Amino acid sequence: MANLRTFTMPKWGIEMAEGTIAEWGVAEGEPFAKGAVLALIETDKITNEIEAEADGRFVRLLAKAGETYLVGALLAVLSDGDEASEAEIEAIVAGFRQADTSFGEEADAVPPAPAAPPPAASKPIPAGIAISPAARLAAESRGIDVAAIAGTGRGGRITAQDVDQAARPEARPNLRGPYPLTPLGSAYATPLARRLAHLHGVDLAGLTGSGSKGRIGKADVLAAVAPAEPSPAPSTRPPVPPPSGKVEVVPMSAMRRTIARRLTESKQAIPHFYLRRRVRVDRLVALRKAIDGPRPTINDYLVKACALALMEVPQVNIQVHGNDIHRFADADIAVAVATERGLTTPIVTAAQALSVADISRIVADLAQRARSGRLASEEISGGSFSLSNLGGHGIDQFDAIINPPQGAILAVGAARSEPIDDEGAIRLVPMMHLSLSCDHRAIDGADGARFMAALAALIEAPHLL
């Protein structure tokens, strides 16, 4: 007899409620060794590999690749390697009971069942009324007075259909007012001629009828109608093809659904305000070009500048949890990385203590693993501040949405040459536009302005980095 056990959807982190089978690593009935990758599970944040804890085989695969299942759902049946009978497998599947993984406010937020409407007051059926048993039961349960119902059954008997008709609301006619009529006037004309004259704006008083006794007819009115204007020349434009009507429906991935939910909650619940400033980056560009060997990106310098500015203005280095503000001793910077599955924000922890070269290596590694879906949950959880840079895509300036529970996010645009007053002279200097989005519940405008001033001073004096 084979040793069978269940293979269920794992739970990584307290916020995980469901996962998607991105790919099965082994087929049903195929033996595998300890350490083999059994499946790729995609959550709203990461994609993890599930490795085999011992030798064995899947004797039944229940879940399908690409579909989403709740935490604790039965995905497959495992065997220690021996063959199992269908009866043994069916017994495992039939006896499985999924554990309740709900928690917190989500479990408490289940709406109560709607209260049943109060029963209608029962109307007594007078004696002597011909009514079918089904109609009597329907009338009593709905509280309908059958004395006012004219039966349509044999001998005037009230049927269930009569009760249903009586229970319906009375249809009201949709009155549009009187139909507009053409004034008769004094002209002697046929009704069709009057209608044509009214339609084309022809005065019947000025027409001479060709009909019997001088009666104005259809032909007389049409002859008085002004000749139609010549039709315009046909257009020389090429014909526009009709729309194909083809629409591709792409279901949201688990990550995209989470992004949509979190950003919607952020804009609805967090009072955003924005502080914008432009900074000169010519000195920073020159400092970077002077480096021999691998050069950090401009974004790596910005991560370091944000970290030092947060140490100078700790009121911005925060998270907001209900009525509490959490201030952090380290600047844990979340860097936005675009992937095929959506935007993810891996975190550079304690960035204020790292060199720009160290930050460059860490950000490159995090970005590469984010695009391949190999980030650990602790590498994308938390963070005290976010940085989103779209300058590489040619965007001059934009406003970002705060990533809760963080209190602020910096949006960075591309560096463009702009005229500035440089010690009394007008010069064209590369300028970068910054936009700081702040949670007004915890950050005041003055604190945000002090942070932007500290950040601008660091960027414009890059040797301080």
* Residues with catalytic function: 440
Distances (CA, A) of 346 to 244, 364, 368: 41, 11, 11
Residue 392 backbone phi and psi in degrees, to 5: -65, -15
Residue 69 backbone phi and psi in degrees, to 5: -135, 150
Which helix (H) or strand (E) is 42 found in, with range?
strand 37-42
Pair of tokens at residue 350: 């304690």
- C-alpha to C-alpha distance for 458 and 308, rounded to whole angstroms: 8
**Ramachandran sector of residue 417 (left: φ over 0; alpha: ψ -120 to 50; beta: rest):** beta
Helix, strand, coil percentages in the chain from 3-state DSSP, rounded to 5: 30, 25, 45
> DSSP readout, 24-89?
ESS-TT-EE-TT-EEEEEE-SS-EEEEE-SSSEEEEEE-S-TT-EEETT-EEEEEESSS---HHHH
Q: Is 354 exposed, middle or buried (0-12, 13-18, 19+ CB in 10 A)?
A: buried
Name the DSSP letter for residue 131: B
Which helix (H) or strand (E) is 164 found in, with range?
helix 160-167
- C-alpha to C-alpha distance for 356 and 258, rounded to whole angstroms: 32
Pair of tokens at residue 205: 């008083």
